[in-house]
Structure 1
C-alpha cells in the first residue's frame, strides 16, 4: 500500500512513520509512507496556501489550487485513482469497519488542513472520503491522520507478528475484546481465571466469547444492536440484565 499525507508540517510524521509497527511495516516494504508539504504547490511567489473567506468571518481558508495540484501530481504516475481522504470535524466518524475498508486500497492520500477550513470545491470535486476521529476540534488534521493510518496499516497482511491479533481486537467482531492475562498466574493475591490455565481450547473460547459479551453489555451496550447473536446468547444477555 502507498500512503501519502499532504500537510504543512511534514516533520510531525517523522517519528510516527519510522517507529514501532509503522516503522517495521515500512522497512518490510509492506507500506510506502510519505508526508508531503503542499506549500510548494501554491501558484504564487510567496507560496501562500490560505486566504480570507468570501463573505467575511474569522480565520483563514485553505485555497483549492495547491491542494488540487498536489493530489494531481501524486496521481500522474499511477493507473489506479487513490482514495483521497479529507480529515475534518464534519466528516464521517472513523470506525474499525472503515479501517478494514480502507486497508483494501492500494493508495491512500490524506489531506491535513489548518486554519478555519477548506475551500468547499476541495470537498465537492477532489476528495472521496471525509473522516473525523471524534466530535471535537483540533488545530490540524495531522494527529487524526496519524490515528487513521496506524489503524489501517496494522490490518495489512504481514504487519503484525500474530495475524489473529487484528481479528480479535475490540470492534473487529462487533464486540469489545475479552480480558487478557499473562504471567505470573498469581499477583498480589489476584488469580488468573482457572479456565485460561486449563489448556481446554473449547472452554477458553467459550469463556472469551462470554467475557466479550459481558464487557460490551456493561460498557458499550449500543454495540450489541448490530452484532449477530445466537438465541442462547440473547437469552444469556437477558438474564444478565435482570440480575444487574
Structure 2
C-alpha cells in the first residue's frame, strides 16, 4: 500500500517512516512512503505557498495554486488513490474508518495543512476531509502520520500476525483488557491466576469481562450495542463494583 504525503516538511515524514514497524514494512516492500512538497510548484522567487486571508484576520492561508498543483502531481503518480485533507473540519478518525481504508487497499494521498489552513477552493481536488480529534495542532503532518500508522497495521505482514491488529483496543468495539508478562510476581503484585491455569475458555471470558469493565469505567459511550452475553457480564461487573463501594 502506498502513502503519499503532500507536505511542506517532507523531512518530518521521512524521519517518522525511518523507524520501528513502519521502517520494517517499507524495507519489506509492504508499504511505500513518498512526499511531494508544494513549494516545488510555487512560481515566485521566494517559493511562496501562503498569503494573508481575504476579509482580514490573523495568520496565513495556504494558496490554491501550489497546493492543487501538488495534488495533481500526486494523482499522476497514484491515479486510483483517495485524496484526504487533514483538517479540523473533517470527520473524526475512528477505528472503523481505519479498517475501511485498510480493507479498500486503496492508496492514500494525505494532504497536510499548515498556518491557518487551506484556501477553501483546494477542497475541490480532495475526496474527503479528516480530523484526528477536537484540538488544533501546528500542522497536518502528525495527523497524517497517525493515519498511516493506524492503517498500515492492518496490511498483512506488517505486524507479523494479523490477529494482533484485529484484537487491539477499539477493533472489538471495546477498550483492551489488561495484559501481563513475566515475572508472575512483581513487588507484591501477581498476574491473575486465571491467566496461568491454561483454561482458554476461562481466559477468554476473563478478558472479555475485563474489556467490558475498562470500557464501562472509562468509555461508557462505546457500550451502546451489546450482545446478550456481554449484557450479563456487564451486570456482573456493576454488581461487583457496587459491592466494592458498599464495602
Indicate whether the TM-score tops 0.5.
yes
The answer to whether the 8 A contact 1:179-1:211 is kept is yes
The answer to whether the 8 A contact 2:92-2:133 is kept is yes
TM-score by length of 1: 0.93
Deviations 1:108-147 (A, max 9, x none): 0111111111110112x11112111111111111111111
1:68-217 residue pairs with structure 2 within 5 A? 68-80=68-80, 82-103=81-102, 104-123=104-123, 125-217=124-216
Counterparts in 2 of 1:93 and 1:69: CA distance versus 1, 3 Å: same
Counterparts in 2 of 1:126 and 1:90: CA distance versus 1, 3 Å: same
Aligned residues: 240
Aligned residues: CA RMSD: 1.5
The answer to whether the 8 A contact 2:90-2:129 is kept is yes
Please state whether the residue corresponding to 2:17 is helix, strand or coil: helix
Deviations 1:43-81 (A, max 9, x none): 33432111111122221111111111111112224442x
Task: Give the gaps of 5 or more residues in structure 2.
Answer: 243-247
1:54 paired residue number: 54
Deviations 1:13-33 (A, max 9, x none): 222111101100000101110
The answer to whether the 8 A contact 1:87-1:110 is kept is yes
Counterparts in 2 of 1:186 and 1:231: CA distance versus 1, 3 Å: same
The answer to whether the 8 A contact 2:36-2:74 is kept is no
Residue 241 of structure 1, CA deviation: 3.1
Residue 236 of structure 1, CA deviation: 3.2
Please state whether the residue corresponding to 2:33 is helix, strand or coil: strand
Residue 239 of structure 1, CA deviation: 4.5
Residue 183 of structure 1, CA deviation: 0.6
Residue 158 of structure 1, CA deviation: 0.5
Task: Give the gaps of 5 or more residues in structure 1.
Answer: none
Residue 230 of structure 1, CA deviation: 2.5
TM-score by length of 2: 0.92
Q: Distance in 2 between matches of 1:158 and 1:202?
A: 28
